[in-house]
Structure formats: C-alpha cells, structure tokens
Amino acid sequence: METLQSHFNQWGAVAFFIILYGMAILFMPFYKKMQRKPATAYIAFVIAFAVEMHGIPFSMYIIASLIGNVLPEGILWGHTLSMKFGYAGLYLNVILALAGMFLIISGWYEIYHGYWKKVKGKGRIVQNGIYKHIRHPQYTGLMLIGLGMIFGWATIPTLLLYPVIVRMYIKLAKKSSGVMSSEK
C-alpha cells in the first residue's frame, strides 16, 4: 500500500499536469462566448484528473467508504487496472494525448494562416491541411486527450465529466458548423 501513497500529495505534479493538459486550450479559437463554457468544463476535467492523480484521491475515499477499507488493486486510482493490463492505460494516454495535441495544433495552424492572419488569411472557411480530413480537429483533439486521461487514470469525476464535455463540444461543433455554412 506504500507505493500507492507515493502518487498523492504531490502538488507540484498537480500543477504540472494542469499546465500540461491545460495548454491545449491555448490553441482553441474563441469566436464567441458560447465557446467558453465547454473550455471551462475541459479545464475542470483536467483539474479533477490532476488532483485525483497526484493530490487527494477523492474517488478512492468514496469507494472505500462504500465497500469498506480494503480496496482491490487498480480500482479507480493508480494506473487503472494495472494489475490486469499492465501499463497499457498509461501508454494509451500518451498516444491519445500526442494525437490530440497534433490535431489541435494542426487545426490552429490552418486557422491562423487561412483565416486570421492578415497577410494570407482571407477570413473564410478553412478547407486545407487537417481540415481536408476533419471539420473540427481541435474539438476532436480535446476528446482524444480526455479519453487518454481516462485510460491512464480513471476516476469518478473524470468518468462523470467526460460525457458532459463530449456532449458540449458536439453541440458546439453543430452550432459553429451552422454559423460557418451561413457565412459562405
């Protein structure tokens, strides 16, 4: 049980993970106020993830109070189900986080050069680069990052927040697609 305790009460690590995963928001466009709500929910997800991972394991306390003091290894803390699957969740987390950041940064690059930049940007819908293949790469990137975080360290707050965030970004994508298509 001592090895599990080493993950907790490391507030420097909490800050590191909040900054690391929160940086994705820096590459997200904010055209309107409606886009701030999903971004705020994503940041709350990141904070819940980091605090549970290296701060205070709220999920572990809740489960322990429900089923008793002794918890089986890997139940919603540590590298989820690490005794059954090894570090597969950790590896999936890294792969999905890298893929998500690639989509976010690629999408930002195309929007910056094709929509915002005064020299080349024309202020119209971007349809080249990553946008040839996917309409909302930045939203998709956030979903991949969040899914990876769940594979790496599933907790009660992240399991509850992830579907909410997905729903918010799907709704936002539909709204922004409607706004964009009316600008054509």
Long-range Cβ pairs for the range 92-96 (8 Å, 24+) = 92/148, 92/151, 92/152, 93/148, 93/149, 93/151, 93/152, 93/153, 94/148, 94/152, 95/148, 96/144, 96/145, 96/147, 96/148, 96/151
- Residue 38 neighbours by CB distance under 10 Å: 22
Quote the CA–CA distance of 114 and 120 in Å, as a whole number: 6
pTM, two decimals, is 0.75
φ/ψ of 84, rounded to 5, equals -90, -40
pLDDT at 152: 83
> Do residues 153 and 93 make contact, with C-beta atoms less than 8 angstroms apart?
yes
Count: domains in the chain: 1
pLDDT at 99: 97
155 Cβ contact list (under 8 Å, min separation 6): 48, 49, 52, 53, 57, 58, 59, 76, 77
Instruction: List, for residues 148-182, the tens digit of each pLDDT value.
Output: 988 888 888 888 999 999 999 999 888 876 655 44
Quote the CA–CA distance of 97 and 113 in Å, as a whole number: 24
pLDDT at 181: 47
> Do residues 27 and 138 make contact, with C-beta atoms less than 8 angstroms apart?
yes
pLDDT at 100: 96
Q: What is the pLDDT along the chain (184 residues), one digit of tens a residue?
A: 444 445 667 888 889 999 999 998 888 876 666 677 888 899 999 998 888 877 777 776 676 677 666 655 554 445 555 666 667 888 888 999 999 999 999 998 888 777 665 555 566 677 888 889 998 999 999 999 999 988 888 888 888 999 999 999 999 888 876 655 444 4
pLDDT at 165: 94
Residue 65's domain comprises 2-183
